[in-house]
Amino acid sequence: MCGIFAYLNYNVTRERRYILEVLFNGLRRLEYRGYDSAGISIDSSNLNSESLVFRQEGNIESLVKSVYQGVWDEKEDVAATDLNLEESFSVHAGISHTRWATHGEPAPKNSHPQSSGAGNEFLVVHNGIITNYKVLKQTLLRHGFTFESETDTEVIPKLAKFIFDKANEEGDESVTFSQVVLEVIRHLEGAYALTFKSRHYPNELIACKRGSPLLLGVKDLEEEASAGSSFSDAKFPSSNGQPKELFLSSDANALVEHTKKVLVIEDGEVVHIKDGGVSIYKFDQAKNNHGGPLGRPASVQRALSILELEVEQINKGKYEHYMQKEIHEQPESVTTTMRGRLIRGGSCKAKTVLLGGLKDQLKTIRRSRRIVFVGCGTSYNAALAARSIVEELSGIPVTMEIASDLVDRQGPIYREDTAVFVSQSGETADTLLALEYALENGALCVGITNTVGSAIARHTHCGVHINAGCEIGVASTKAYTSQIVVMAMLALAIGGDTLSNQARREAIIDGLFDLPRKVKEVLKLDEEMKDLAKLLIAEQSLLVFGRGYNYATALEGALKVKEVALMHSEGILAGEMKHGPLALVDENLPIVVIATRDSCFSKQQSVIQQLHARKGRLIVMCTEGDAASVSVGGSSRVIEVPHVADCLQPVINIVPLQLLAYHLTVLRGYNVDQPRNLAKSVTTQ
């Protein structure tokens, strides 16, 4: 949920102003991960004096303002810090953080970096949750430490100081920064990505992770200045004295404007940046759970990889908001999702699907006793939209699991199962726990994510990247439609080329080829949805009825409205209408009914009749040309959408609801890209 960004310049002179702007821009790129408070730490003029720490409640711009005005007031009036913005540093290490509150309300004292105490000997920024922090806190209190914040994070820098002081008391004055940190994480339980800074180890940074994402970016200035260098020459940084810039970030979005050479830090790794070089140590919790002297684990070798991301992809371009941009990018994103995976034509005029990440496991999947889709929120809804077509083409029973519920109740997962884990970020904490549980039970695990190198991508046996492109708006839009497209292709791949379903398969493949054009067509409803939003702006509640493939559309449409427009909305299975929800219907409550042409169309017509009989205020989504069939007496407002194959119709039908949610939010004056209390990547339980 939170965002970490750190910047270290080595043997390259940078003014303090430049360093601050790099840190602030990094946080701006990560603000979708949390935006209730933020903080940074930079060096003072004297390396041996305490680091400067600035923390502020509110968004990134609140922090920027407080730093440049030299005003930071936590509990009392604190003397203003006069920053010399022109002061230059040939080597400097700065860390920063944007927070999504879990422990303690949004306030400067609870913001990061968290400190070891007076003098800021050790500073830490943290993404995740330390589950045993209360036990550690009690231990540190007994040793005389005092705590100022309500966070779980504060125990980490204080524990680092305790370990450092104890080592020095025992005469080990040569204890290294990495040894201190390795001893700290030996005591930590839970999920975390951490970056450490210490005045005892000037110009050094240490990063480590377990569960939460963290990347290292490397920009070798001398290599980039030479004409013969290329991105394929991604050598690991060494202490060779060459000028370079090193970055740590929770997400590649904040790195791509600086460098494309990255290392995805893996669980249990400790990355030590010192003298322009990088050392990586592998920490094993089981092997290191002892109380002996501080150890020195052997370093490991890793290769840098190259980001396939462009700066243009993370800018808003001509749009006012990221959500608006991402809704309108869907014709391109679904095209990219399908590129190279759909085959039509050739010598035998075959129509088929090729999913390279699954081809070695298709036979195993086809032998499965059942397929279990696991996800949270929008990803769960996408899997639900695809469930019917997977069952139809594969002949394998499909069950749906909300990740947290599967883990809570320890639901049965068998060796004969195929478990499919769906997550936009690939780092969703509940989904990762469910994946760990499924692996323990021996199931074949398949990942469907939008993030190459993510935890789910690395830990599943096989999988498919949806290739939807960078999604920054907190409310998922284009990732949802690309997930449905991928799972439709998954159904085609599992189903094989049996004669009995050949016509059905070919119709779906034709529909997939035509899908980008149909999405572009439905986006023309933008102004119509804006007009509808104006009519609904003052409403307090909205019901959305769907059935069959479009039950998922009802859930996802309602989720979008509640996420960003902050309006109560509920997606309801239309078949359950008479079992309670009908009691809510009156002439004031707006109700959306999804009634596009499929096998459930006649049943939805019946639902419309019953709602009309009770004077329901209806908004009906139907297939183009069906307005007269769904508007009883012309009293309903009708949204007409293009027709596609029934299993692909949810891709089309969700777009008007995304547009409605977007316009409702803007008209109501809320922040559409950063909705209240939410963040993009849910990396905490």
Q: What positions carry a catalytic annotation?
A: 2
Contact between 657 and 555 under an 8 Å Cβ cutoff? The reply is no
Q: Which of 28, 19, 42, 22 is nearest to 94 (CA)?
A: 42
* Eight-state DSSP code of residue 299: B
Q: How crowded is the C-beta side of 326, counted as CA atoms within 13 Å?
A: 24
- Distance, in Å, from the CA atom of 469 to the CA atom of 547, rounded to the nearest integer, reads 30
- Distance, in Å, from the CA atom of 365 to the CA atom of 51, rounded to the nearest integer, reads 55
What residues pair up with 217 in beta bridges, in sequence order? 247, 262
* Eight-state DSSP code of residue 294: P
Instruction: Please write down the HEC assignment for all residues of 634-675.
Output: HCCEEEEECCCCHHHHHHHHHHHHHHHHHHHHHHCCCCCCCC
Q: Which of 547, 501, 229 is nearest to 391 (CA)?
A: 501
How is 582-614 classified by DSSP, letter by letter?
GGG--SSSEEEEEE-SSTTHHHHHHHHHHHHHT
* Eight-state DSSP code of residue 102: S
Burial class (CB in 10 A: 0-12, 13-18, 19+), 228: exposed
Contact between 109 and 148 under an 8 Å Cβ cutoff? The reply is yes
Instruction: Please write down the HEC assignment for all residues of 511-530.
Output: HHHHHHHHHHHHHHHHHHHH
List of long-range contacts for 579-588, beta carbons under 8 Å, 24+ apart: 581/543, 582/610, 582/614, 584/543, 585/611, 585/614, 585/615, 585/616, 586/614, 586/615, 586/616, 587/615, 587/616, 587/617, 588/617
Structure tokens at 252: 């590649």
161 three-class SS? helix
- Distance, in Å, from the CA atom of 570 to the CA atom of 68, rounded to the nearest integer, reads 45
Torsional class of 442: left (φ above 0), alpha (ψ -120 to 50), beta (otherwise) = left
Q: Residues near 212 by Cβ (< 8 Å), separated by ≥ 6?
A: 127, 128, 191, 192, 193, 250, 427, 683
Q: How crowded is the C-beta side of 368, counted as CA atoms within 13 Å?
A: 29
Distances (CA, A) of 495 to 353, 418, 449, 461, 488: 10, 15, 22, 20, 11
Contact between 192 and 267 under an 8 Å Cβ cutoff? The reply is no
Radius of gyration of the chain (CA): 27
End-to-end Cα, the chain, rounded Å = 10
| Token pair 């139809």: residue | 392
